[in-house]
Amino acid sequence: KRKKWLGLIHSTLFQCVNAFFKMNVDLCWICFNPKTASMVQELVKEKAVEALKKCFASRMEFGTAGLRAAMGPGISCMNDLTIIQTTQGFCCYLEQSFGNLKERGVVIGYDARAHPPSGGSSKRFASLAAAVFISRGVPVHLFSDITPTPFVPFTVSHLGLCAGIMVTASHNPKQDNGYKVYWENGAQIVSPHDKGISKAIEENLEPWPESWNTEEALKSPLLKDPYQDVHTQYFKAIQKHCHHREINKSSQVKIVHTSVHGVGHTFVQSAFKAFDLHPPYAVEEQKDPDPEFPTVKYPNPEEGEGVLTLSFALADKEGASVVLANDPDADRLAIAEKQESGQWRVFSGNELGALLGWWIFHCWRQQNPDTAAVKNLYMLSSTVSSKILRAIALKEGFHFEETLTGFKWMGNRARDLLDQGKTVVFAFEEAIGYMCCSAVLDKDGVSAAAIAGEMVSYLATKNISLSQQLTTIYEEYGYHISKNSYFICHDQDVIRSLFDRLRNYGGQKDSYPTECGRFSISAVRDLTTGYDSNQTDKKAVLPTSRSSQMITFTFSNGGVATMRTSGTEPKIKYYTELCAAPGNSDVTHLKKELDDLVDAIVENFFEPVKNKLQPKPE
Ligand SMILES: *[C@@H]1O[C@H](CO)[C@@H](O)[C@H](O)[C@H]1NC(C)=O
Ligand SMILES: *[C@@H]1O[C@H](CO)[C@@H](O)[C@H](O)[C@H]1NC(C)=O
Ligand SMILES: *[C@@H]1O[C@H](CO)[C@@H](O)[C@H](O)[C@H]1NC(C)=O
């Protein structure tokens, strides 16, 4: 017994010393950057224990989405040191994975983010990452200026590189930054690469001497600037999706564009030019990159109207009827349209998915009158997005597939299909992400903006608004009305009990609810356990993951509801949609039915733990 105690004391002591030593080493490395060093000194002086813990408590986890965290000192934050450590690990992992890394190389892009207090910026992080690769003799295609995120996957495919890195935090608050990685197939990485890279990072924490030397690296013959070439090739590639070059002559429609202080402005202007469209009016206050995002509360066009206030003002002044908005790294796109009432309608991600999916199929059909070709055609969406593409596919005879949530799944699935000789024309997710052009196997707000611009112009020549076209789509393929929201919950036990209750409903083990209020449930799919009542072998087709919660109910009335936890936020999200049969156009009734369904779900599935959940803030 004494031995056991002694052993325990020893190991605890060892851990303490080890942790102390490690923290000192980290602190020492941080001193390479005087700004992060002085931030730490300041925090120590103020005895800001909580703030220090936030910076040093645990290393950022490298996942399939790469990294995303606040810029600042410590292993929990984005800074020079953690960028070097991450890139060293990524570089070693690529060396193990590709025998020809030194011939093929990588591409590195960055957005306009900067954080003066810690001296961190996307550009600086990108040059540090370049220095790491160059120190190992790996050629680096480092963009000489800011680019939209989709340019990185485009470059990976276009130049046949082993991987790509984009330094961006997309639409996150201004103090954040991120590190997104693409594999040689041009799509975001999937498991097990995340685990492999994570392990390689742990094994390469100590900075290599040359890793800091960005000056040397920027002079190296291994460094190339792909900017001009990629710029030319990208717009050439998206031009293939321009089908109505003549439209600018007959269309009088005026369009406003905002890049929300991000990178999108010049690229969307160029994309419109590539499509021979009249250039959109740019929102002056938001068109140039500004890491402070001074005119918006959150730089996220998904937040809807607040972000679009200045766009609406400009549109009203210029007599424009449509607003296009990119998020700061221009990989997503929001659209709003002025209604006859004078009010602006901001389309949901699902509604835009319906419009773009319809338009892309419409154009494809015109180019491919041969009816057999449709058998080779694919569209994809994530499983929590609207099923409208399924309805269009069913009627038109092309293929529709759903993937798990996250564009990494759609990008990789599109790659597989393309490799099998299939044509993939469109993929989307409800979070305003659209892939309208398979030259980029990720969401791309630049090509989506030009293609949407052409659609708007084409419809305008026929005196049809987007809202009217959306109604036409619903009349033809069936109304798809969705309602998504979430509850906030920080307690993992509450989340577990909520989902376990659904799996053992009414106290019966492994038994799911068969009804929810007055709504009868016709099928259940549980992607946490891998169960699907609608499959003959009861096994779900999509990959399952024990580490996250996700259950989908299909209702007899055509409703679908998914409840899932978010990997990155303390939320239980729910996605609901009522898919009506074509011909059923009693919208008022359908909306009421969906409202009732959502109420029933909240009452029956969330209510038992509702006092432990916070509703979505208004
Ligand atoms: C309109 O299209 C024509 C033909 O494609 C092109 O020559 C012209 O430059 C375009 N105008 C604008 C404003 O883009
Ligand atoms: C265009 O449509 C609107 C309403 O849909 C209608 O009021 C207007 O008269 C139409 N204009 C033309 C030129 O057809
Ligand atoms: C169950 O599967 C069949 C065929 O695989 C399909 O037609 C049907 O719509 C599915 N039902 C539900 C509720 O998902």
Widest pairwise Cα distance in the chain:
90
Which pLDDT does position 333 carry in this prediction? Answer: 98
The set of residues, in sequence order, having a beta carbon less than 8 Å from that of 451 and lying 6+ positions away, is 238, 241, 356, 359, 360, 436, 437
The fourth-level CATH superfamily of domain 350-476 is Alpha-D-Glucose-1,6-Bisphosphate, subunit A, domain 3 (3.40.120.10)
Q: Which H or E run includes 197?
A: helix 193-203
Position 303 scores a pLDDT of 79
Q: What are phi and psi of 425, to 5 degrees?
A: -100, -20
Per-residue confidence (pLDDT) for residue 28, from 0 to 100: 58
For residue 312, what pLDDT is reported? 97
Are the CB atoms for 192 and 147 separated by under 8 Å? no
Catalytic residue chosen out of the listed positions 127, 135, 170, 457: 170
Q: How far is the CA of 464 from the centre of ligand 2 (A)?
A: 8
Contact 525, 551 (CB under 8 A): yes
Phi-psi region of 507 (alpha: psi -120 to 50; beta: other; left: phi over 0): left
Distance from C-alpha of 60 to C-alpha of 52, rounded to nearest angstrom = 15
Residue 253 and residue 471: Cα distance in Å, rounded? 20
Tell how far the Cα of 247 is from the centroid of ligand 1, in angstroms: 9
Q: What lines the ligand 3 site, CB under 6 Å?
A: 522-523, 534, 554
The pLDDT assigned to 123 comes to 98
CB 485 within 8 A of CB 616: yes
Q: Give the pLDDT of residue 379.
A: 98
- How many angstroms does the Cα of residue 533 sit away from the middle of ligand 3? 10
Ligand nearest the Cα of residue 453 is: 1
Helices (H), 375-427: 388-396, 407-419
**Helical packing angle, 466-477 and 445-461, nearest 10°:** 90
Residue nearest to atom 4 of ligand 3 (CA): 534
Of the chain, the end-to-end C-alpha distance in Å amounts to 58
Sequence-separated (6 or more) residues with CB below 8 Å from residue 305:
312, 344, 346
Ligand 1 pocket, residue 365 CB under 6 Å? no
Instruction: Decide if 382 is catalytic.
Output: no
543 CA from centroid of ligand 3 (Å):
18
C-alpha 602/C-alpha 596 separation (Å) is: 10
Give the whole-angstrom CA distance, residue 517 versus residue 425: 40
Q: Which atom of ligand 3 is nearest to the CA of 523?
A: 13
> Of 461, 480, 463, 462, nearest to 471 (Cα)?
480
* Inter-CA distances, 149 with 13, 39, 171, 496, Å: 46, 30, 12, 36
Question: Which tokens sit at 559?
Answer: 């409703």
pTM of the full predicted structure?
A: 0.93
Cis ω for the linkage preceding 192 (within 30 of 0): yes
Which run of H or E residues covers position 399? strand 399-403
Which residue's CA is the nearest one to ligand 1's atom 13? 278
- Give how far the C-alpha of residue 501 lies from the chain's centroid of Cα atoms, to the nearest Å: 31
247, 268, 276, best to mutate for ligand 1 pocket (most atoms within 8 Å of CB): 276
DSSP state of 468: H
CATH topology for 480-615 is TATA-Binding Protein (3.30.310)
pLDDT at 8: 60
Q: Is 304 helix (H, G, I), strand (E, B) or coil?
A: coil
**Which CA distances in Å does 613 have to 99, 517, 562, 608?**
51, 21, 18, 10
- pLDDT, tens digit, 9 for 90 and up, residues 280-329: 999 999 999 999 999 999 999 987 678 999 999 999 999 999 999 999 99
Q: Which ligand is nearest to the CA of 387?
A: 3
Of ligand 1's listed atoms, the one at least distance from the Cα of 273 is 14
CA 550 to CA 573: how far, in whole Å? 9
**What's the average pLDDT block by block, 10 residues per block, for the chain (618 residues)?**
60 54 56 84 91 92 95 95 97 98 98 96 98 98 98 98 98 96 98 97 95 93 98 97 91 96 98 97 98 95 87 98 98 98 96 98 94 95 97 98 96 98 98 97 98 98 97 97 95 94 93 97 97 97 92 97 88 96 93 97 91 86
Contacts (Cβ under 8 Å, ≥6 apart) of 480: 350, 354, 386, 387, 388, 391, 474, 577, 578, 579, 580
Report the nearest-CA residue for atom 1 of ligand 3.
534
The correct CATH number of 58-230 out of 3.40.50.300, 3.40.120.10, 1.10.600.10, 3.40.630.30 is: 3.40.120.10
Fold match flag (233-347 vs 480-615): no
List Cβ neighbours of 38 (8 Å cut-off, separation of 6 or more).
Answer: none
CB of 423 closer than 8 Å to CB of 411: no
Helices (H), 541-603: 587-601
Tell me which ligand sits closest to the C-alpha of residue 559: 3
CA atoms within 13 A on the CB side of 329: 27
Q: Is 595 helix (H, G, I), strand (E, B) or coil?
A: helix
**What does the pLDDT look like over 59-110, one tens digit per residue?**
999 999 999 999 999 999 999 999 999 999 999 999 999 999 999 999 999 9
Q: Spell out the CATH class of 233-347.
A: alpha beta
CA of 463 to the centre of ligand 2 (A): 6
For a mutational test of ligand 3's pocket, the pick from 387, 531, 534, i.e. the residue with the most ligand atoms closer than 8 A to its C-beta, is 534
Question: From CA 12, how far away is CA 6, in angstroms rounded?
Answer: 10
Segments making up each domain of the chain, as ranges: 58-230, 233-347, 350-476, 480-615
